[in-house]
Structure 1
Amino acid sequence: MDHLFRRRKLWKTLLSFTLLFGTLLTIQKFRVTDTGARELLWKPKSKWWKERDREVKANTSSLWDGNVSALTRSPVLPSWNVEAANCSSVDARAVDLARRLEPRFQQFVLHRSCRYFPMLLNHPEKCSADVDVLLVVKSVIEQHERREAVRRTWGAERTVRGRRVRTLFLLGTPSPGKDARNLQKLLEYEDRIYGDILQWDFQDTFFNLTLKEVNFLRWFNIYCAHTPFVFKGDDDVFVSTDNLVELIDFRSDEGRARELFVGDTISKAIPIRNQHSKYYIPRELFDKPYPPYVGGGGFLMSSWIARQLFVVSEGLELFPIDDVFLGMCLQKLGRTPESHLGFRTFGIVKRKMSSSMNSEPCFFRNLIVVHKLSARDLLRMWSVVQDPKLTCAKNYSL
């Protein structure tokens, strides 16, 4: 009897081990499958960069030879599959350069290989319908009043002169010490109401504006490549959407809309060497004149140009000033931004922000972009300019 009991106990033990082994084998199998799926979705960083570098070079091989006509298609990307900040290894050259720079530039140089970041808020559906013009507004998490003012004025989603206009705000995350947790919750609540915020998991700092630029270009290439036109601007500008669309119609009628990139162009600019300036750039970082670029307060570009900018941007090192970085991308494309008097990103009267002309409604009515206004001034000016009773002596010709 004892023998039978021991034998039964042994069988139970063997059966338990068999079940345990089978369970572990199944779990391991699923892990391998899951890992394989993740690798298909997003390859390891170092390998990804090597393969992506080859892809970019292949897509732009004629570009490096000076032939831009080869850039007719952008890489097709299925989704925003960045699960962690992808950074290539820091080379010895970057380390040596960082040693010779001030601390704020050291951080930029050592981390500028980190290009794409996970998304915290995304709205791929924004371009799912027939959208003709996408208004893209750079903002920071604390500027809720500015975003609200834009939504109530030029950023209101509507149809203008037969073209459907949609709006998105681009944001990073708040810096530590700014009550970041509560600010993030407020932003998420704001997005639940409006559904118009794209947010990436990098800190919103001045140098990171370039990250906002390249992450948006990639996002646009994935989700909105079929949208014909993109306006990019700050959250403290006045935009006449009617005049903006009129310019698009005019260029379309002329057959010059495909390669459109227009704004307040700055030419023959040189880096500022004054260390107290917001735009200071050390000689060690850049020692040549800047290429022509547009003021980042607001500019208009075609979808075709936006897609080409995405391709060439991947082959360029990031630069601390986002406006200049876009100028570098255009230079690589062999293109010069077009200047238009309707874009006033330094005020209606440049370098004289206190001039009474900068608050004259009749100028605002006949321009396209004016920088810069507070949220309260934007609401007031929009109301005045939209008033049919406003009578202006002269019209500014677009």
Structure 2
Amino acid sequence: TRGHVWYPASFHCTKKKRVGLLKPLLSLSLVFASFLMIHKLKLAEKDGVGVKRMRDAVWCGSECFSFKKRVVKNSLGSSESPVLSNGLDAQRVSKGTPASWDAQVLNCSEDASVRTQDWFGRLDPRFHQFVLHRHCRYFPMLINHPEKCADGEVQLLMVVKSVIEQHDRREAVRKTWGKEHTVDGKKIKTLFLLGSPATGKDTKNLQKLIEYEDMIYGDILQWDFMDTFFNLTLKEVNFLKWFNIYCSGVQFIFKGDDDVFVNTHNLLQLIDFRVEERKEAELFVGDTISKAIPIRNRQSKYYIPKELYDKPYPPYVGGGGFLMSSQLARRLFVVSEDLELYPIDDVFLGMCLQKLQLAPEMHPGFRTFGITRRRVSPMNGEPCFYKNLIVVHKLSAQELLRMWSVVHNEDLICAQRVSV
């Protein structure tokens, strides 16, 4: 399916014509969702929820944005920044760290030499585009906020993976654990990582909506690659490079999904403990998975064919939520540039850690598979567990808002610390 194939934003593929009422229904649904989202965003702006105020009372189009897509070419088709034939910019090859985001032109043609390899002929076709474009690593930014880390010392940067359509999840995160504030003099900032919407007739509308949302909140980073499952690793490497350029003063990064519950009080306590113990330099902690092997079930979302990877995985943490130090993030950026991209993002970070001869730390407070693996278990709705844990996966936007309210209710009394 399309969601499981690697596509750059400019890659076009033919689709079979769909019959019936599916397209009209989808279009009507998008129009309704768009009106609802704009209404919610305007209410948020009016009520002062947004971090970033609109300068004008009416929608004024893309000219309002100072950070938008910049594809600068001359008559010969070359860019202002030198781009090599394999899609990697000159500064990337020279290992220098640019002063600003330097991937300005999308130049990602397939690596035709891969097609001559024997193993490629045996590879499951759904992985063909990923492998052919695996060398394409850094992409132009459509929305950037280089000022996010520049406002004084930021102790904790909350970085949340999301997609354009999941506006309700981002709203829930902003109202709960992703709310930007200062705790005991320690600043907490939040960013959402997005790719581009899939190519289609509603692409421009979706892009306008996300630009409108960013005008109000100012907390979105967006790159010009298509938002698919295989491209989650692109969010990892593009963010690591972005962080290395713009966030020299940040001390810690929490990175997670937009459908998790995070107890920020417990997360800050964990940071304080590690700082007191002077163990923060190599901090990388979460729900560690050890001795895992690639899944060979073709029906699984995480299926990996033998031709792509045929050995055990290194220890890695569940991508639902983990904490790392800024020092380690910069080291991960350096080693990531010399590793081939892998279609499972949390496994790829485990490979980077292995390259550094480090292992992630297991912490019982991170439950990226839920409190129990049985989704229907009543324990997964027990607020005292959430009060004592750090990260719990997986919640809908409504469940997150409700659980946040219950956990922070002063009338909630938990007789003793509970564990599972």
Same-fold call, TM > 0.5?
yes
SS at match of 2:412: coil
- 2:98 is aligned with 1:77: yes
Match of 2:256 among 233, 246, 250: 233
TM-score, length basis structure 2 = 0.78
Residue in structure 1 matched with residue 24 of structure 2 by the alignment: none
Measured in 2, the distance between the counterparts of 1:343 and 1:94 equals 42
Residue 53 and residue 91 in structure 1: after superposition, are their counterparts in 2 closer, same or farther (change >3 A)?
A: farther
CA contact (8 A) 2:109 2:133 kept: no
TM-score, length basis structure 1 = 0.82
Deviations 1:190-216 (A, max 9, x none): 000000000000110000000011000
Residue 188 and residue 292 in structure 1: after superposition, are their counterparts in 2 closer, same or farther (change >3 A)?
A: same
CA contact (8 A) 1:137 1:170 kept: yes
The letter of the residue matching 1:388 is E
Residue in structure 1 matched with residue 9 of structure 2 by the alignment: none
The letter of the residue matching 1:78 is A
Residue in structure 2 matched with residue 291 of structure 1 by the alignment: 314
Residue in structure 2 matched with residue 43 of structure 1 by the alignment: 82
- Tell me how many residue pairs correspond in the alignment: 343
The letter of the residue matching 1:77 is P
Residue in structure 2 matched with residue 318 of structure 1 by the alignment: 341
SS at match of 1:126: coil
Residue in structure 2 matched with residue 306 of structure 1 by the alignment: 329
Residue in structure 2 matched with residue 99 of structure 1 by the alignment: 121
Structure 2 residues not aligned, in runs of 5+: 1-72
SS at match of 2:403: helix
Residue in structure 2 matched with residue 258 of structure 1 by the alignment: 281
Query: Which structure has greater helix proportion?
Result: 1
Give the deviation of 1:48 after TM superposition.
Answer: 8.2
Higher radius of gyration, 1 or 2: 1
Measured in 2, the distance between the counterparts of 1:150 and 1:103 equals 37
CA contact (8 A) 2:86 2:135 kept: no
| 1:20-35 equivalences in 2 (<5 Å) | none
SS at match of 2:287: strand
- 2:358 is aligned with 1:335: yes
| 1:1-398 equivalences in 2 (<5 Å) | 42-46=81-85, 49=88, 55-56=94-95, 75-87=96-108, 90=111, 92-93=113-114, 95-96=116-117, 97-129=119-151, 130-177=153-200, 179-349=202-372, 351-396=373-418
Give the deviation of 1:380 after TM superposition.
Answer: 0.2
State percent identity of aligned pairs: 66
SS at match of 2:319: strand
SS at match of 2:387: helix
Give the deviation of 1:87 after TM superposition.
Answer: 4.3
Q: Which moved more, 1:324-333 or 1:42-51?
A: 42-51
Give the deviation of 1:50 after TM superposition.
Answer: 8.9
Deviations 1:91-148 (A, max 9, x none): 6246524332222200000011111000000000000012110000000000000000
Deviations 1:160-203 (A, max 9, x none): 24311000000001112372111111110000000000000011
CA contact (8 A) 1:41 1:81 kept: no
SS at match of 1:226: coil
Q: Which moved more, 1:85-94 or 1:337-346?
A: 85-94
Measured in 2, the distance between the counterparts of 1:93 and 1:175 equals 25
CA contact (8 A) 2:87 2:109 kept: no
Give the deviation of 1:258 after TM superposition.
Answer: 1.1
- RMSD of Structure 2 on Structure 1 (CA): 2.1
